[in-house]
Amino acid sequence: METAPKQQAVELINRSNQILIVPSRPDGDSIGSSLALLQVLTKLGKTVTLGVLDPVSQTYRFLPKVEDIATDINGMRDFVITLDSPNASADRLSYNFDEGKLNIIITPKSGRYRPEDVVFTQGQFKYDTVIVLDAADLHQLGLAYDRYPTLFQEIPIINIDHHASNAYFGSVNLVDLTATSTAEILIGLIEALGVNLIDPGVATCLLTGIIADTGSFQNANTTPKSLTVAAQLVGFGAQQQEIIRHLFKTKSLAQLKLWGQVLARIQFDFGTKFAWSTAGLDDLTGSGATKEEFGGLIDELMTSIPGADVVLLLSEREPRVVSGSLRTAKGVDATEIAGLFGGGGHPGAAGFKLLDMTLGEAEPKILEKIREYQKRRLGLEATPETEKQALGA
């Protein structure tokens, strides 16, 4: 009988001493889940590195152990110095430290060494296992995968995720499509790893993930299980009010300016029940906000527009890269819409990214495809009368 993925993950973790945790590009679920797992594995006596190479929003700086996040994952590998000189032989090797410098001294027995004989290389990474959290594929790890793709080829991966678009890239794939968040999946894994591992700090991190991915239980993906698990975490001491304050009630002046600009240009096509807004690079520079301060804006749009079945936020956060964030009402599959543009996600929340296009080039093409999708779904014919129902058309 084949071992279940959760048990496979437990066995691999138990066999490992050096563990690397790498989340998808940081949001509430990926960061909360990662910090919770960091604390749990450290309690189990593991040497753990949590590598987050992409910027982490100040929103999450209240979480326990956030100061332990490593901004690079290159440290756990040897630095190899090779001296290739067939015309010399070594008598002895020594080293010393001088004002923060390591001096390696090679005394020749015969011949001589030249600077051009020295070659520098990197050894293999020293991790036993990599745990990837909240990523449908390895490219969603951002800079961690861009800089060190061979790491994810050399070392066994435990893939823990809840996205329907997951590529099952791990040696172990603990993927639960019914879970509202990766944090929700982790609770069962932590309980399988041992008893008394969930303390108030771990519970706060896990509840942050669940609250972030359910929009504080307002999104359509909220399930009875997510509410039950949240109550369980509050019982463990999770700081629910502190989470709400930081995730939803604390915004910088720059973020408020950015949100104001985006909310002011909302458009709504009544005929297809489709609402959208845009945010360009000039909005970021004009408001002084960071890319991370887009967080939560799409959920604000969804809850602010009565009657909308599909809500889209198009943003250009770096030159010629257009990101689309989708939220849909119950019964409308956001993953189908995101799939039109090569993206994915969940039935109620999904996204996509288009490369080598400006926002101005991408917007009309994207709007046309989503309108067509909604017309087919609603049984509408594409007539001039329905087209005129779009605001601003």
The three-state secondary structure class of 149 is: coil
Angstrom distance (rounded) from CA 384 to CA 232: 54
Angstrom distance (rounded) from CA 216 to CA 218: 6
Query: Which pLDDT score, from 0 to 100, does residue 2 have?
Result: 62
Q: Which of 175, 95, 93 lies closest to 133 in space, CA to CA?
A: 175
End-to-end CA distance of the chain: 60
- Averaged pLDDT in 10-residue chunks for the chain of 393 residues: 86 97 94 98 97 91 96 77 80 84 85 82 84 95 93 95 93 96 97 96 98 86 93 97 90 84 90 93 82 70 81 90 91 93 86 92 96 93 49 42
Phi, psi of 170 (to 5 degrees): -90, 165
Q: Which two tokens stand for residue 345?
A: 């996600």
Task: Identify the structural domains of the chain with CATH numbers, from first to last.
Answer: 5-73+126-246 (3.90.1640.10), 78-125 (no CATH), 253-387 (3.10.310.30)
- CB contact set of 115 (below 8 Å; sequence gap of 6+): none
Query: Which pLDDT score, from 0 to 100, does residue 9 have?
Result: 98
Query: Which pLDDT score, from 0 to 100, does residue 108 have?
Result: 83
Query: Which pLDDT score, from 0 to 100, does residue 330 have?
Result: 85
Query: Which pLDDT score, from 0 to 100, does residue 302 have?
Result: 66
Q: Does residue 371 contact residue 274 with C-beta atoms inside 8 Å?
A: yes
Nearest 5°: the CA angle 43, 47, 52 is 100
Angstrom distance (rounded) from CA 175 to CA 53: 24
